[in-house]
Amino acid sequence: MAGPRRNPQPHSEEKLAAITVGPLVPLDRKIALEPPDPRWPQQYDVEAIKVCAALGEVALAVHHVGSTSVPGLSAKPVIDMVLVVKVSEDEAAYVRALAAVGYVLRIREPDWFEHRLLKKIEPAVNLHVFSAGCVEVSRMVAFRDWLRTHEPDRLLYEQTKHVLAVQEWRYMQHYADAKTTVVKEILARATASQGQEETVAVDDDRTEKLRRATMTLYRAFHDYPLRKKIESCPHCKLESTEESLKAKSLQHLTWADFGVFPSKAMTTFGDEFDFKHFLPRILELHVLDSENSPHDVSFSFAKLQYANWTLWPDFEVAAVRGFIHAWFRELQAREQHTGDESIDLEELRSALAEAPWFLPAG
């Protein structure tokens, strides 16, 4: 969901044709809204890593926005993302690289913040591209954050969406245009609460550094593919766990899918090669789903020590240290923002006190 346009009138067909790259395809139907899906944030995480991996330093920031980013809000099953680059009109800096991971440029709006929109079919993603410092990024993030924490406005927006969704729309943009009034109303409350006309409530830089560190971690261990057979103790009956590990792509595995692998890796289940294959997702899950972890992060640190990880190639060691450092800094920043120390930060501090060599020197 992009923020309100300065002109609240619906886009004319001529205007839509002018900003569309490729054919202008009519919708001519109602809008299909789906109930909140807990998989949406996970889908965003996977796509954000792919975008960052494709662009490297060109990607200055990536944000999850729109209705799929708000827990409890129904939405079209399309992940909305914002990509911040140095100059969005410099399409050569990112369009071709993103095409390699499935994104196609569909919208070019020189007169509206030089906005670009790239689409992906599977999974369905709208990737909005803006230049660094663009106020529209702040608006979109502020709108998301406000709906996450203010139920009355979330319900108001939900009701508005459902009222509009049952109507037939010639183009999807016309449905978005029809929400402009309520979006402006809610956004005004969000910005007023922060004592400023234009919010600067952009995700903390630490969060972006953690995302980049996660991307680097996956790249560092990319050369350890999943084996056809993970060797295990013949008496341990681990076949079902091995099937779970192979049923999904690495970035979609959950703690439940891992089963006993994190505790038995390199002893009775798999070797160091297998451990390295799964390591990025194991560490990532400590960040994304610590509540369901079968053990705290100190156990994973112990597994790394068991593998003599400091003797691994330098780029692998640097990737592990960089990830843990970024995670630690992100938790510290969150603590400073809320004033409360999280259980995650307490556990990580405790683990690092026992194993300080996991952080980069200095």
Separation CA 43–CA 29 (nearest Å): 26
Task: Please give the backbone phi and psi of residue 318, each rounded to the nearest 5 degrees, phi first.
Answer: -65, -35
pLDDT exceeds cutoff 50 at 362: no
Q: Which residue has the tokens 């139907």?
A: 29
Residues 70-104: tens digit of each pLDDT = 999 999 999 999 999 999 999 999 999 999 999 99
Query: H helices within 56-171, ranges in order?
Result: 95-99, 135-149, 151-165
Query: H helices within 201-249, ranges in order?
Result: 205-220, 239-246
For residues 337 and 204, is the Cβ–Cβ distance under 8 A?
yes
> What is the DSSP-derived secondary structure letter of residue 116?
E
Answer yes or no: pTM beyond 0.75: no
Residues 188-230: tens digit of each pLDDT = 888 776 544 333 333 445 567 788 888 888 888 988 888 888 8
For the ranges 124-128, 300-304, 336-340, the lowest mean pLDDT is seen at 336-340
Separation CA 98–CA 351 (nearest Å): 38
- Across the range 58-67, mean pLDDT stands at 93
Residues 282-320: tens digit of each pLDDT = 999 988 888 888 888 888 999 999 999 999 998 888 889
Residue 245 vs residues 93, 228, 262: alpha-carbon distances, Å = 37, 11, 11
Residues 137-162: tens digit of each pLDDT = 988 998 999 999 999 999 999 999 99
CA dihedral 106, 111, 114, 116 (to 10 degrees): -10
pLDDT band at residue 341 using 50, 70 and 90 as cut-offs? low
Q: Which long-range contacts (CB under 8 A, 24 or more apart) does 313-319 make?
A: 315/220, 316/220, 316/221, 316/276, 318/220, 318/360, 319/213, 319/216, 319/217, 319/219, 319/220, 319/221
Round the average pLDDT of the chain to a whole number and report it: 85
Domains of the chain, start order: 13-192 (3.30.460.10), 205-358 (no CATH)
pLDDT exceeds cutoff 60 at 6: no
Taking each helix axis from N to C end, the angle separating 180-192 and 151-165, rounded to the nearest 10 degrees, works out to 170
The helix/strand count (H/E) of the chain reads as 15, 5
